[in-house]
Structure 1
Amino acid sequence: MPSILFTLDDLRRILLEAAGAEESVDLEGDILNTTFAVLGYESLALLETGGRIEREYGIVLDDDDLSDEITPGDLIDAVNTQLSATEAQAA
């Protein structure tokens, strides 16, 4: 398990900073298994979100990690996988 963990709260913060939120979407609700498309985030918003995550956490995400057809839970898993890999390389 990485010593730095990317959480749903981290994702919510970055999503709001990068792209805001649709008025009809409650990011504080149970969004882990809802696709980004349903949440109102299109590919451009996800690219901005991904860029912010990469800069803040020092990782590189794959294009597949930023599809509007994935869920916040999928993205959190991808970020934490990258964080683990980065830590393993540094050790």
Structure 2
Amino acid sequence: MTPRQFTFADLRRILIEGAGEAEGVQLGQDKVDVTFADLGYESLAMLETGSRIEREFGVTLDDSEVIDAATPGDLIAVVNAHLAVPTAGTSA
């Protein structure tokens, strides 16, 4: 079974559901390497985003992992690293 992947589309949807979209910023794939600060998302919005990711994708993220992820690409990589680790009771 192929592990589930966390995509930019997933992140975009979760960010907008939890924190909205910053005025004047279109959160498109071209923003994958733009910092969350430049996109208008502060630490509280990122913690909410992390909580939503945990609930939807069944991973546990340290707050520091979410806050230290400077860009959408960084956060996508962090989540996918957690998704790649088999959980107890599953086979790789």
Tell whether the structures are fold-level matches, with TM greater than 0.5: yes
TM-score, scaled to structure 2: 0.87
Match of 1:45 in 2: 45
* Counterpart for residue 19 of structure 2: 19
Kindly, what percent of the aligned residue pairs are identical? Answer: 54
Letter in 1 for 2:49: T
Detail structure 1 runs of 4+ shifted over 6 Å in the superposition: none
Consecutive unaligned residues of structure 2, counting only runs of 5 or more, are none
Give TM-score scaled by structure 1 length.
0.88
Distance 2:21 2:55 in 1: 21
Alpha-carbon contact 1:46-1:68 (below 8 Å) kept: no
- CA, structure 1 residues 5+20, in 2 after alignment: closer, same or farther (shift >3 Å)? same
CA 24–69 in structure 1, closer or farther in 2 if over 3 Å, else same: farther
Unaligned runs of 5+ in 1: none
Equivalenced residue count is 89
Instruction: Give me the whole-angstrom Cα distance separating, in 1, the residues matched to 2:46 and 2:15.
Output: 8
Partner residue in 2 for 1:64: 64
Which residue number corresponds to residue 3 of structure 1?
Answer: 3
- The answer to whether 1:55 aligns with 2:50 is no
Can you list the C-alpha shifts for 1:21-64, whole angstroms capped at 9, x where unaligned? 11111102511111101100001100110000000011011223
